[in-house]
Structure 1
């Protein structure tokens, strides 16, 4: 099954594209949605979709920014651009970022199907790299859960797997090592303003590369130990209280970081450490729990329940609800015999 992400700020267009993908079925399923390029990039590192379908014109960060970030970071993601007649010249700039296809709005189901099949042909070239990227992401997802000894062991094992990978070319190893190093530097920089990035050691001798990542891990531990104070616990507690009261509103990581004056990287790390879940999983769990209570009321339509608890589209609500409960909202209601 190939995971698809749909990125579009206009909810009705996004919902229409999501429905088309789900109607096509087969090898494709929608794994995530986003309203702008910044949200989408954050979600990519959590969901790791195979294909991203993105609008070109969006607020905050647009689709051109997103496909450029995907290309420059060498992420194993295939991109498809949505564009209007008056945006096509602008969209053509995306050609330099190895976009798979362009779809003219309003999107036709037949054209979408062709674009997805075309994208599928490119998937094998990303498969082997994808496994290593997932390993890097898993390391950062769990970085706050490791004690110092485990952290050094996990980091050392990951670096060794990349250096010694028989199925990778040297250029591919260098890309992976630069990605690993870059994410580490970004993480430390977000916690320690003024931090001087440690230059990537990709391309050097194995001993130099291992020493480079050892130093990064030491820097991270120093920053993290200084950051996890009582004040930070209070911030996350306030965030959780806010979500409990405002779960039905349209919320994002950016909203929380601006409201509570904390960097995105700090927020993501601390939220996971103190709640045991990512922000989006925590918020979705709140919404699904409230939806269960509302579904008991047989007078409400399922789409009304979805809107009331904060989901922007019915397909998204159905997908998240089933992921979390094992049943669709209609199946859950029937199970309750409502």
Structure 2
């Protein structure tokens, strides 16, 4: 039997999914039900299921964020997204992140049975591939496999850093970044602390202050214009923050050059 975890913040939806097919006849066993994304992550880590059915929208951590975190950590659990018609675009995004498929609400028996059949094929192919690699594995291949999760996480973080560098002039925040990359804000925060040894807020401030300093040194733009170009809509907040950051006011800084 393949082990399955369901995750949905609405109990009746989870129950309707359970009742949509004869899971045991299909070769699957439901081992746990989560009411939110964070609980789903915990259960997946503890129970190591083969499949996770995840609702697209859940409080705290969405199904998309769960899929992203699982892929970044190298998890091999097959994820199936449960979505409504209005969330179809999000379901497509989940597929790009490696989800095995998606099922639309209200659930239809034939659709769920078809998805389970496809998932079963994916699981079997994965097992065959791992078995083949183990038979022919060389030391360098083993090291590559062990580093796969790390590489995926680094690739995602690189994209986040690049986005911040390109859009720091806009009013961006940690929740904005997390939403754009379908990740939980706490996870993005942890990535910055791990990879950069600083918070997201500090990283963004460093970029903005460096740019503001460059404009003060090389242009005759007003301090108000420089504040706005550096991502600060409030001139007075910018002036106070700049002095706190550099030890001098923007005007004093400019007069040094």
> How does the TM-score come out when normalised to structure 2?
0.52
Q: 1:130 to 1:25 in 2, by over 3 A?
A: farther
- Secondary structure at the aligned position of 1:58 is classed as coil
Give 2:94's aligned residue: 94
**Is 2:146 the partner of 1:176?**
yes
* Contact 2:83–2:91 (CA under 8 A) maintained in structure 1: yes
- Secondary structure at the aligned position of 2:60 is classed as coil
* Contact 1:74–1:175 (CA under 8 A) maintained in structure 2: no
- Secondary structure at the aligned position of 1:52 is classed as strand
Distance 1:69 1:130 in 2: 22
- Secondary structure at the aligned position of 2:19 is classed as helix
* Contact 2:9–2:35 (CA under 8 A) maintained in structure 1: yes
CA RMSD in angstroms comes to 3.3
Q: 1:32 to 1:115 in 2, by over 3 A?
A: same
Give 2:17's aligned residue: 17
Distance 1:176 1:105 in 2: 38
* Contact 2:3–2:31 (CA under 8 A) maintained in structure 1: yes
Q: 1:16 to 1:166 in 2, by over 3 A?
A: same
Number of aligned residue pairs? 155
- Secondary structure at the aligned position of 2:113 is classed as helix
* Contact 1:21–1:29 (CA under 8 A) maintained in structure 2: no
Structure 1 residue 23: Cα displacement: 4.8
- Secondary structure at the aligned position of 1:45 is classed as helix
Query: What do the CA deviations read for 1:85-129 (whole angstroms, capped 9, x no partner)?
Result: 111122221121122111110011111000010011111343379
Structure 1 residue 177: Cα displacement: 4.7
1:207-246 matched pairs, under 5 angstroms: none
* Contact 2:51–2:77 (CA under 8 A) maintained in structure 1: yes
Distance 2:125 2:137 in 1: 12
Distance 2:117 2:37 in 1: 24
**Is 2:123 the partner of 1:123?**
yes
Query: What do the CA deviations read for 1:58-88 (whole angstroms, capped 9, x no partner)?
Result: 1010000011112222211111111101111
Give 1:54's aligned residue: 54
Give 1:104's aligned residue: 104
Please say which of residues 75-84 and 19-28 is displaced more in the overlay.
19-28
> How does the TM-score come out when normalised to structure 1?
0.40
- Secondary structure at the aligned position of 1:25 is classed as helix
Distance 1:59 1:109 in 2: 27
Distance 1:124 1:168 in 2: 19
Structure with the greater alpha carbon radius of gyration: 2
Greater RCO, 1 or 2 (C-alpha within 8 Å, sep 6+) = 2
Q: 1:106 to 1:168 in 2, by over 3 A?
A: farther
Query: What do the CA deviations read for 1:130-189 (whole angstroms, capped 9, x no partner)?
Result: 89xxxxxxxxxxxxxxxxxxxxxxxxxxxxxxxxx6554645643435659xxxxxxxxx
Q: 1:15 to 1:67 in 2, by over 3 A?
A: same
Give 2:232's aligned residue: none
Q: 1:175 to 1:101 in 2, by over 3 A?
A: same
Q: 1:23 to 1:49 in 2, by over 3 A?
A: closer
Distance 1:43 1:167 in 2: 33
Structure 2 residues without counterparts, runs of 5 or longer = 151-189, 196-257
Distance 2:52 2:64 in 1: 12
* Contact 2:78–2:119 (CA under 8 A) maintained in structure 1: yes
